[in-house]
């Protein structure tokens, strides 16, 4: 099935599921859509026992959509920009040290904690999974997903400072995770001897530092254009060009596109919005990017739900996936606790009450982890890690996402 046909069908389903959820189920939008796509997948599996042709047709449609390319190269930049333009720059600056610590040190620490604990689990279960493969899993599952986080935090009504920490961390930790993921991947494919600390450091500077510089460049370039005119249609079009052109530039320059789009979104949502736009343009800009955000989120979580149809489930994979849930939560808890204690001691910083359990439970995983897992070849335990990642993501969104509001009310 052509990609256009598959996306057209998915768009129709996303709209229908969004309507049904809003009218009857009344769950947070992305969770409701994903839950219905999961239920639809289960129904299709049951129908397939009677009519195998229908199930196989849907499976072909889902397989025709390259989840990694669609999310990481097409949708992610737009989603991150849409989330970043609504963040307050002053609040981000006030929380810059926790955000920096959690998105860098915390991600690295979580990668090794998850990888080490998962490797120990595989040894106990006598599964032949190498340590570097387990670290690869730790890298892809450690970053909190800004797409999942930002869409669910809107309904959780958590304290503003805590929301800034969670959303800021989730927006910036992708670059760190990608560097770790690529470094470990190169160790596996090219041999650990070919990757040293200097090479990893250079890769980090290129990806993260280059992403920041590119984001500032395209963000301020857009600001100069927007400030020089007063016509909302053109100004909104310029913001689209910032994302589309900036993402292409990031790929060509081999820098972090996600970080570039976050920085460009912050510049646009603060500098351009405050100085260069009329009230009418601000109104249209907000409504346009809210619509983009809602649509792409709906499409993404629908696709996540339908991935159930193409996963190579078996009993061993299921056990590993369920066991990975507490491993990821424990690693998240420790990777938040350690940098927070350092910040308290060295900089005398104060944090919200029960901040560690709140950041642990609010650190959701989502489509980015699944997309990275899908990039791992079969010969590198790809099928196992896709299933394990999928189970962790489902728990994260359905259980943590649905209960974060209650947890906040209880602990704050």
State the Cα angle at 24 between 304 and 289, rounded to 5°: 55
The radius of gyration of the chain's CA atoms, rounded to the nearest angstrom, is 21
Find the helix or strand (DSSP H, E) in which 227 lies. Answer: helix 210-227
DSSP labels, 191-210: -GGG--HHHHHHHHIIIIIH
pLDDT surpassing 70 at residue 333 = yes
* pLDDT tens by residue, 71-83: 888 898 998 999 8
Instruction: Answer whether 331's CB lies under 8 Å from 135's CB.
Output: no
pLDDT higher for 1 or 328? 328
* Mean pLDDT calculated for residue range 301-329: 91
Residues contacting residue 252 through CB under 8 Å, at least 6 positions apart: none
* pLDDT tens by residue, 298-313: 998 999 999 989 988 7
The per-residue pLDDT for 194 is 62
* pLDDT tens by residue, 267-290: 999 999 988 899 999 999 999 999
Instruction: State the chain's mean pLDDT as an integer.
Output: 89
Q: Which three-class secondary structure state does DSSP give residue 125?
A: coil
Q: Which three-class secondary structure state does DSSP give residue 9?
A: helix
The per-residue pLDDT for 201 is 78
The per-residue pLDDT for 223 is 97
* pLDDT tens by residue, 192-241: 656 666 777 787 788 889 999 999 999 999 999 999 999 999 999 999 99
Q: Please give the model's pTM, rounded to 2 decimal places.
A: 0.91
| Nearest in space to 372 (alpha carbons), one of 215, 207, 176 | 176
The per-residue pLDDT for 229 is 95
Q: Considering all CA atoms of the chain, what is the largest pairwise distance in Å, rounded to the nearest integer?
A: 66
Provide, rounded to the nearest whole percent, the portion of the chain with pLDDT above 90.
Answer: 51
pLDDT higher for 352 or 147? 352
The per-residue pLDDT for 1 is 53
Q: Residue 159: how many CB atoms within 10 A of its CB? A: 14
* Mean pLDDT calculated for residue range 66-94: 89
**How far from 249 is each of 73, 140, 198, 240, 254, CA to CA, in Å?**
12, 24, 25, 14, 8
Q: Domain 68-411, what architecture?
A: Up-down Bundle (1.20)
Give the pLDDT band (50/70/90) at residue 134: very high
* Mean pLDDT calculated for residue range 36-53: 89
The per-residue pLDDT for 193 is 58
The per-residue pLDDT for 192 is 60
Query: d(Cα 114, Cα 333) in Å, to the nearest integer?
Result: 11
Residues contacting residue 374 through CB under 8 Å, at least 6 positions apart: 67, 68, 382, 386
Query: d(Cα 134, Cα 331) in Å, to the nearest integer?
Result: 14
Query: d(Cα 357, Cα 166) in Å, to the nearest integer?
Result: 12
Q: Please state which of the ranges 7-11, 169-173, 245-249, 356-360 shows the lowest mean pLDDT.
A: 169-173
Give the pLDDT band (50/70/90) at residue 390: very high
The per-residue pLDDT for 172 is 85
* pLDDT tens by residue, 111-122: 999 999 999 999
| Nearest in space to 240 (alpha carbons), one of 263, 214, 222, 228 | 222
Q: Residue 97: how many CB atoms within 10 A of its CB? A: 13
**Where on the phi/psi map is residue 147: left (φ > 0), alpha (ψ -120 to 50), or beta?**
alpha
The per-residue pLDDT for 154 is 66
Query: d(Cα 77, Cα 81) in Å, to the nearest integer?
Result: 6
Query: d(Cα 216, Cα 222) in Å, to the nearest integer?
Result: 10
Give the pLDDT band (50/70/90) at residue 316: confident
Q: Which part of the chain has CATH 1.20.1530.20?
A: 68-411
The per-residue pLDDT for 330 is 97
The per-residue pLDDT for 368 is 87
The per-residue pLDDT for 152 is 72
The per-residue pLDDT for 188 is 87
Q: Which three-class secondary structure state does DSSP give residue 406?
A: helix
Query: d(Cα 406, Cα 227) in Å, to the nearest integer?
Result: 43
């Amino acid at each position: 099935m052509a990609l256009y046909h598959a996306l057209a069908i998915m768009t129709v389903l996303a709209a229908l599921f969004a309507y049904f959820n809003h009218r009857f189920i009344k769950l947070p939008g992305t969770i409701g859509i994903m839950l219905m796509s999961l239920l639809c997948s289960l129904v299709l599996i049951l129908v397939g026992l009677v009519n195998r042709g229908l199930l196989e047709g849907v499976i072909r449609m889902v397989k025709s959509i390259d989840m990694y390319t669609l999310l990481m190269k097409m949708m992610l930049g737009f989603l991150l920009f849409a989330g970043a333009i609504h963040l307050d720059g002053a609040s981000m600056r006030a929380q810059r040290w926790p955000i920096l610590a959690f998105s860098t040190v915390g991600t690295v620490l979580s990668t090794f904690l998850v990888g080490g604990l998962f490797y120990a689990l595989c040894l106990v279960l006598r599964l032949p999974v190498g340590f570097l493969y387990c670290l690869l899993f730790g890298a892809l599952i450690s970053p909190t997903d800004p797409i999942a986080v930002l869409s669910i935090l809107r309904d959780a009504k958590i304290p503003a400072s805590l929301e800034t920490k969670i959303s800021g961390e989730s927006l910036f930790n992708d670059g760190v995770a990608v560097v770790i993921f690529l470094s470990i991947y190169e160790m596996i494919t090219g041999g650990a001897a070919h990757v040293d600390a200097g090479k990893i450091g250079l890769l980090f500077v290129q990806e993260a530092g280059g992403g920041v510089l590119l984001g500032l460049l395209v963000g301020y370039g857009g600001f100069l254009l927007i400030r020089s005119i007063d016509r909302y249609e053109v100004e909104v079009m310029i913001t689209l060009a910032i994302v589309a052109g900036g993402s292409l530039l990031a790929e060509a320059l081999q820098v972090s596109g996600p970080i570039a789009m976050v920085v460009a979104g912050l510049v646009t949502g603060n500098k351009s919005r405050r100085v260069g736009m009329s009230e009418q343009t601000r109104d249209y800009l907000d409504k346009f990017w809210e619509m983009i955000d809602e649509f792409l989120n709906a499409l993404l979580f629908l696709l996540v739900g339908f991935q159930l149809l193409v996963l190579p489930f078996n009993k061993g994979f299921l056990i590993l996936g369920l066991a990975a849930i507490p491993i990821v939560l424990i690693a998240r808890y420790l990777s938040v606790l350690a940098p927070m204690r350092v910040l308290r001691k060295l900089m005398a910083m104060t944090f919200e009450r029960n901040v560690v359990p709140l950041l642990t439970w609010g650190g959701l995983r989502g489509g980015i982890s699944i997309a990275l897992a899908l990039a791992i070849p079969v010969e590198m335990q790809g099928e196992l890690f896709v299933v394990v990642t999928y189970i962790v993501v489902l728990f994260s969104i359905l259980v943590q996402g649905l209960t974060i509001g209650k947890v906040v009310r209880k602990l704050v």
